[in-house]
Amino acid sequence: MKTTISSLLKIYENGEKFTVLTCYDAIFATLLTDCGVDVLLVGDSLGNVIQGEETTLSVTLENMIYHTRCVARGADEAFIMVDMPFGTSQLSPEHTFENARQLIAAGAHMVKIEGGRIMADTIQFLTKRGIPVCAHIGLMPQSIHQLGGYKIQGNTETSAKQLLEDAQILEKSGANLLLMEVIPASLAKQITETLSIPTIGIGAGIDCTAQVLVLHDMLGIYKKKKSKFIKNFMTESHSIREAVCNYVKAVKSGQFPDKEHEFQ
């Protein structure tokens, strides 16, 4: 059965968890879908793991369209979410809509947009015109130079309050999902309990509705500095397929992430 926003919401309403992994090609799209991954994220992380860049900032809309088409050809049942790369959602709601439209035409079912309350008007513009949106707060790789590096967000009283307010504003603007990256587990829990939409965590603790990892990190094949929230599922598996299936089981059962993968 094909995964849709409605089926993801049903999982959420039943108090269950769903799984997300990044995906960039047709072969892995088929494998991940067969293993029960609910959402395939065509991430701008392809800049790091596919193109070998230090950041995601050089990834273009054309890159994302190409990889979205590849994933769509291999994913019959999974829900496809696609990052809007740097510079494609920051100018105006109208400009963002045109870029998002091209991603939807390529096979995306939802776009993901980095940014807090400043993106509320844009998200509202898109969702009112039929384009589902996952908002992304916390550590935002597209803002890495402004943030001063890849480090925890929301770890002060002021910044935690701002992230909670941003989450509430983005939900009111029409965001269908909220992704939180590298924030204290207690804050992610508070935000998840405050909102009435599903949350996706990466380095945000166990209490999010769903978890996401970069595929290459989860398989232990990206050899650059390993972040605290990453678990290499290949160490206890005999094949890539088994590792992905074990990831799905661990997320759905609440075994991943555990305390060693959380930020306090």
Catalytic residue among 77, 181, 236, 242: 181
Q: What H or E segment, with its residue span, contains residue 36?
A: none
Is 157 part of the annotated catalytic residue set? no
Treating both helix axes as pointing N-terminal to C-terminal, what angle do 26-34 and 61-74 enclose, rounded to 10 degrees? 50
Which residue ranges are tagged as binding site for 3-methyl-2-oxobutanoate?
Answer: 44-45, 83, 112
The CA distance from 93 to 245, in Å, is 39
Q: From the CA atom positions of the chain, what is the Rg in Å?
A: 17
Residues 6 or more apart whose CB falls under 8 angstroms from that of 165 comprise 117
Other C-beta atoms closer than 10 Å to the C-beta of 175 total 27
Look at strands 133-138 and 39-42 and give their pairing: unpaired
Which residue ranges are tagged as binding site for Mg(2+)?
Answer: 44, 83, 114
The CA distance from 4 to 108, in Å, is 12
- Bridge partners of 137, per DSSP, are 180
Which residue ranges are tagged as binding site?
Answer: 44-45, 83, 112, 114
Q: What residues are annotated to the active site?
A: 181
